[in-house]
């Protein structure tokens, strides 16, 4: 894409500044981006994965889990005005000297999604502008919809005189997990040429759209702005592909006549079986008998359970994927699954999974709620990229070995602020011009602030976020 002129804004930054591979670390994007923002290692900053275990179940990571100051806290402390847009684990939006548009800002019914609250109206206008003119983003995709709003908010804020603006786009990562086979097709079983071309064009369109968004932000920024673009990791093929399928087993049980549903949910007098942990991007579904005396108005007597279990196994064998393979297997519930509420388990057979599920050759409405095939993956060994340009940035600087741990101290140095001795990396002063280095000798302080007690905050959208993470293979 670079050679074909499809990333003109990134290419222009590289041409007038400095570039390097960026050494990555860790496996989870929230962990790496929090390391970038704090300069501290995960065991110190507290965000070690996409989720945090709680007594009531897993919850997505949030800003309250982080135990140490991030760049926006540090800069606020010294009176710098800062804008943060879409950064991983930035909800609830923290009080800063500036603006935070959190990573959950597009959930319109969520509290504390922006700071200050007066910014809410402006961000709603950003969302409306993106809906009128998506500028290449696919608004039917939740991740792209988030990035479209992020791009509009970042462009607006770029012209408002902040000392620093930090913006994160999510979709290059999410899309690469799904579409990487089209980048390295030789690593996978061949597909028809037209499908290969269409898949690659789709991924290239996503990258080009982000490149254009970066160009719009820079066009709105002051001419004397320094700009840094980085990715937290690279990608490699994941062969064979991993399949993630969301199956609504309740829809299957309804089609088979074991469950009835009405406006208020399960129609208990006409239900014999129902799913207890569905739908989700998981392979197992807990199933319960509608037992008399246990479920509300349950009709199944305990003695009927063996025959009912045998009947559902026979009927589930009639449910197939379009290629002819079975869609389900049935097994006994493990002790922990019994504690979770399952009388037995219906397992989804992922091999052969498709966008439709067939009962006696006919599609079951609503049975498949989502399907993704993951062909791209990454780890600490896949370096990201680092590009920087601007009046204070040297051209063609030697940056061999620069990594994610160095980002916070380097960005602080760019803003005339000291790095902290408790940070894991260093300020790469070689990135900057001789004039800037002469005027800004490196300084350090012991710390930018003492650690705080991390805590988990939940929201009504946690389940949806967990489903998205499972669809991408992170959970």
Confidence (pLDDT) at 279: 64
| Residue among 187, 195, 207 at smallest CA distance from 8 | 207
Q: Which two tokens stand for residue 349?
A: 């057979």
Q: What is the pLDDT along the chain (475 residues), one digit of tens a residue?
A: 999 999 999 999 999 999 999 999 999 999 999 999 999 999 999 999 999 988 777 899 999 999 999 999 999 999 999 999 999 999 999 999 999 999 999 999 999 999 999 999 999 999 999 999 999 999 999 999 999 999 999 999 999 999 999 999 999 999 999 999 999 999 999 999 999 999 999 999 999 999 999 999 999 999 999 999 999 999 999 988 999 898 999 999 999 999 999 888 899 999 999 997 666 667 888 999 999 999 988 999 999 999 999 999 999 999 999 999 999 999 999 999 999 889 999 999 998 999 999 999 999 999 998 888 999 999 999 999 999 999 999 999 999 999 999 999 999 999 999 999 999 999 999 999 999 999 999 999 999 998 999 999 999 999 889 888 887 777 7
Q: Cα separation of 320 and 326, whole Å?
A: 5
Confidence (pLDDT) at 264: 82
Supply the CATH classification number for the domain 8-235+378-471: 3.40.720.10
- The backbone region for 257, taken as left when phi is positive above 0, alpha when psi lies in -120 to 50, beta otherwise, is left
| SS3 state of residue 187 | helix
Q: Cα separation of 362 and 438, whole Å?
A: 74
User: Which residues, including other chains, have CB under 8 Å from residue 195's CB and lie 6 or more apart?
Assistant: none
Q: Cα separation of 146 and 142, whole Å?
A: 6
* Torsions phi, psi for 249 (to 5 deg): -65, -30
| Residue among 148, 145, 153 at smallest CA distance from 125 | 153
Confidence (pLDDT) at 277: 61
Confidence (pLDDT) at 56: 75
To which residue do tokens 């051209």 refer?
395
CA distances from 308 to 142, 299, 467 (A): 40, 12, 31
Rg, Å, the chain Cα set: 25
Q: Where along the chain do the CATH 3.40.720.10 domains lie?
A: 8-235+378-471
Confidence (pLDDT) at 466: 86
Q: Cα separation of 215 and 207, whole Å?
A: 12
pTM value is 0.88
User: Which residues, including other chains, have CB under 8 Å from residue 353's CB and lie 6 or more apart?
Assistant: 243, 245, 321, 327, 368, 371
Return the beta strands (E) in 248-367 as ranges. 261-262, 265-266, 273-275, 284-289, 319-320, 328-332, 344-348, 358-359, 362-363
Q: Cα separation of 423 and 408, whole Å?
A: 8
| Residue among 363, 357, 350, 342 at smallest CA distance from 274 | 342
Q: Are 344 and 202 in contact (CB under 8 A)?
A: no
| Residue among 429, 406, 425, 403 at smallest CA distance from 416 | 429
């Amino acid at each position: 894409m670079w050679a074909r002129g499809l990333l003109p804004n990134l290419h222009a930054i590289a041409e007038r500044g400095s570039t390097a591979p960026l050494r990555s670390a860790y496996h989870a994007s929230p962990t790496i981006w929090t390391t970038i923002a704090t300069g501290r290692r995960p065991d110190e900053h507290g965000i070690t994965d996409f989720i945090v275990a709680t007594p009531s179940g897993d919850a997505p990571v949030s800003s309250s889990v982080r135990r140490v100051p991030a760049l926006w806290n540090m800069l606020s402390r010294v009176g710098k005005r800062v804008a943060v847009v879409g950064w991983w684990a930035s909800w609830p939006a923290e009080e800063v000297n500036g603006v935070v548009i959190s990573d959950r800002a597009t959930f319109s019914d969520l509290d504390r999604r922006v700071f200050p609250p007066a910014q809410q109206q402006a961000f709603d206008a950003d969302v409306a502008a993106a809906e009128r003119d998506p500028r290449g983003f696919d608004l039917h995709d939740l991740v792209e919809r988030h990035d479209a709003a992020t791009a509009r908010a970042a462009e607006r804020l770029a012209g408002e005189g902040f000392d620093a603006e930090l913006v994160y786009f999510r979709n290059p990562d999410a899309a690469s997990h799904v579409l990487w086979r089209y980048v390295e097709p030789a690593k996978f079983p061949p597909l028809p040429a037209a499908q290969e071309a269409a898949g690659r064009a789709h991924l290239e369109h996503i990258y080009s759209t982000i490149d254009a968004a970066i160009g719009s932000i820079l066009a709105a920024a002051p001419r004397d702005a320094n700009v840094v673009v980085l990715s937290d990791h690279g990608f490699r093929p994941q062969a064979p592909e991993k399949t993630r399928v969301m199956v609504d087993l309740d829809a299957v049980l309804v089609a088979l006549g074991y469950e009835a549903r009405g406006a208020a949910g399960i129609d208990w007098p006409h239900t014999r079986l129902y799913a207890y942990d569905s739908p989700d991007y998981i392979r197992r579904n807990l199933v319960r008998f509608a037992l008399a005396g246990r479920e509300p108005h349950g009709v199944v007597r305990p003695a009927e359970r063996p025959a009912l279990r045998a009947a559902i196994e026979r009927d589930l064998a009639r449910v197939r994927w379009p290629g002819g393979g079975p869609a389900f297997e049935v097994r006994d519930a493990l002790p922990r699954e019994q504690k979770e509420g399952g009388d037995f388990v219906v397992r989804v057979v992922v091999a052969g999974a498709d966008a439709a599920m067939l009962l006696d050759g006919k599609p079951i409405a609503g049975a498949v709620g989502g399907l993704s095939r993951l062909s791209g993956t990454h780890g600490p060994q896949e370096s990201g990229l680092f590009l920087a340009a601007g009046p204070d940035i040297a051209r063609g600087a030697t940056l061999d070995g620069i990594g994610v741990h160095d980002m916070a101290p380097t960005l602080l140095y760019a803003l005339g602020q000291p790095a902290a001795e408790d940070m894991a990396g260093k300020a790469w002063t070689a990135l900057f011009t001789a004039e800037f280095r002469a005027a800004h000798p490196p300084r350090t302080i012991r710390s930018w602030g003492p650690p705080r007690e991390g805590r988990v905050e939940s929201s009504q959208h946690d389940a949806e976020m967990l489903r998205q993470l499972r669809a991408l293979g992170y959970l």
